[in-house]
Chain A
Amino acid sequence: MTQKILIDRRSLISRIAGQSYLWLLLVVLYAPIVLIIIFSFTKSKVLGNWTGFTFGLYENFFSGYDTSCGVRVDPNLYRALLYTGVIAVASSLIATLLGTIAAIGIFNLRQRHRQAVMFLNSIPMINPDIITGISLFLLFVFLGISRGLVTVIIAHVVFCTPYVVLSVMPRLKKMNPNIYEAALDLGATPIQAFSKVMVPELWPGMVSGFILSLTLSIDDFGVTFFTKGSNGLETLSTFIYADARKGGLTPELRPLFTIIFITILALLIISNIRTNKQTKK
C-alpha cells in the first residue's frame, strides 16, 4: 500500500523516464549477446556480415565437420567442453561434501573460533582469481607437483567450497540442533545420523551451494589459467581466450554461446518460479 502511495506521488513523466532508463540499460546490456545469437544463424566468418539464414553453424558444431567444405571444426573446442564439464562436476561434488561437513563443524565451534574460521573461509572469496591462481601455481611448483587436470580440480575446490559453507550455514541455523543427538540416542551410527538426518535437513543449502559451485567453476578463467599447466589442457574459458588472441572467434562458438545462453535463461526462469512458489507457501 505505502509503496503505492510513494509511487502515486511521483509524476507520470518520472515514472516513464525511470522505465525507459531500465529498458535502455537492458538493451545496452543485451546488445552484444543478441548480436551473437543472431549471427549464429548465418555462416559468415565475421559478425555483422549477414550471408543468409542457415542452421549451418549448428550443423557444424554438432557434427564436428564443416558440412560445406569438409574441414574439421577445431577438435580442441570439444575437448575443452568435456574438460569444463568434468572439472565443474568433480570440483563441485567435492566442494559440496567438504563444505557441508565443514559448515556443521564451524557451526558448532565457539564464537571466537567460528569467527576466525569464517575469516579464513572468506579469503578465497575476496582474493581476485589472479592472486588465487598465482599463489596455487607457486604452491604446486614448490611441491614439485606437475600441473594438469588434478591441480585444476583442487584449485576449483579451493574457491568453490567457501560458497558451499555460506549456503549451508543458514540451514543449520534453522535446524533443530537436537535431532542429530536424538538419532544417535535412538541407535543410529554417526554416519547414519549424518546421512539420514542431517543431509535431508541441509539438502536445499547443499543444492544451491552445488549449483553455485558449478557456475563458478564453469565461469572461471584466471585460476584455471595458472593451474592448468602447459600440456594442452584447456577449459572453455581458456580456449576462448586463446582463440580470441589468435584473432577472431571460431564461428562455431556462436551456436555454442546461444545454446549456453538459452540453457541458463531457462534454468534461471525455472528456479525463479520454484522460489516464488516456495515463498508463497
Chain B
Amino acid sequence: MKSNSIIQNRRTWAWPYVGLMVFLVVLPLILIGIYAFTNQQGDFTIQNFVQFFHRSEAVNTFIYSIAIALITTLICLLVGYPAAYIMALNSFRTPAVMAMLFILPMWINFLLRTIATVELFHMFNLPLGEGALLYGMVYDFLPFMIYPIYNTLQKIDISLMEAAMDLGANRRKVFTKVILPLSLPGIYSGIVMVFMPTVSTFAISELLTQNKITLFGSLIQRSFGEGGIAMWNYGAALSLIMLIIIGLTSFFGNHDTEDINR
C-alpha cells in the first residue's frame, strides 16, 4: 500500500512541468489565435486575413516561400539520400567519423555558416539572389536530411538484404523493395526537419539575397519588428497561417514522433 501511494506521489512530479508548458506554450499559441482574429481595439474581426488575401504581394510571397522550401527539401533529399546510403552501407574502417563530419556543421551557428556562404559568393564575384538563396538553404539544412536517413539505414538488419538476394532479387530490387521502404521513416523526418525551418526562416533569406527577396518569415518578422503595434494583429494572422502549414507538415512526419514516443 505504501509503495502504491509513493508511485502516485511520483506521478505528481509531472504536474509542475505540465502547468509551465500550458502557461508558456499553449497559452502563447492561443494568444496568436486571439490576436489574429481581433483588431487593435480587441474586437473580433477577420479583417487581418482579408487583408492578407487582398494583398497580392503577400500571397505571392507566401506561395513563393512554400515553393522555395519545397525545392530546397527536394534538392536536399536528392543530394542527401545517396550520401546517407553510401555512408551506411559502405564498410568504412571508421564510418562513425564520416557521419560525424557530416553532422559537425549542424553544430555551428547557422548564421555564421550563412555569412560564410555569402562571403564565398562575394569572393567568386557571384551575384546574390535566388540562386544564392537556394544554395545557402540547401547548404544550411543538408545535414538535417542526411542524419535521420543515415540513422534509419544504419539500423536496417543486413540479413534482410541478404535474404532478398538469396531469393533472387538483383541489386535494384533489393533497393526498391527492401531498403527504400524501410528507410521511409528517415526520409519523412528528414523532409520535416528541412521543410519546417526553410519555410519559416527569415534571417537566411535576408542575408543571402541582401533583402532582394522577401520570404514569408520575413513578412511575419517585419509585422512585429518595424511595423509597430498597429501590425501585430496582421502579423499574428500570418503566424497562424504559418502554424497551419507547420501542423500539416508535422502530421505528414508523424511516423517520426511516434518513434520518439516509443
Contacts and interface: CB of A to CB of B under 8 A. Distances in A.
B145 to A, nearest CB: 12
Contact of B196 (A108, A128, A269): A128
B208 to A, nearest CB: 10
A139 B24 CA distance: 8
B110 interface: yes
B207 to A, nearest CB: 5
B111 A6 contact: no
A106 B21 CA distance: 13
For chain A, what secondary structure do more than half of its interface residues adopt (helix, strand, loop), or is it mixed? helix
Contacts, number: 239
Nearest to A25: B83
Contacts of B15: 105
B83 A22 contact: yes
B213 interface: no
A3 B91 contact: yes
Contact of A131 (B82, B98, B143, B239): B239
Interface in A7-40: 7, 9-10, 15, 18-19, 21-22, 25-26, 28-33, 35-36
Nearest to B198: A128
Interface stretch (A52-60, A61-69, A201-209, A218-226): A218-226
Interface residues of B, number: 90
B216 to A, nearest CB: 10
Contacts of A7: 89-91
18 contacts: A2-B162, A6-B165, A32-B119, A35-B116, A36-B112, A48-B122, A102-B17, A108-B11, A126-B196, A130-B202, A134-B239, A139-B27, A139-B28, A142-B31, A161-B17, A222-B203, A261-B108, A264-B107
Interface of B: 3, 6-7, 9-18, 20-22, 24-29, 31-32, 35, 79, 82-83, 86-87, 89-91, 96-98, 100-105, 107-113, 115-120, 122-123, 139, 142-143, 158-159, 161-162, 165, 171, 196-197, 199-203, 206-207, 217, 220-221, 224, 232, 235-236, 239, 242-243, 246, 250, 257, 260-261
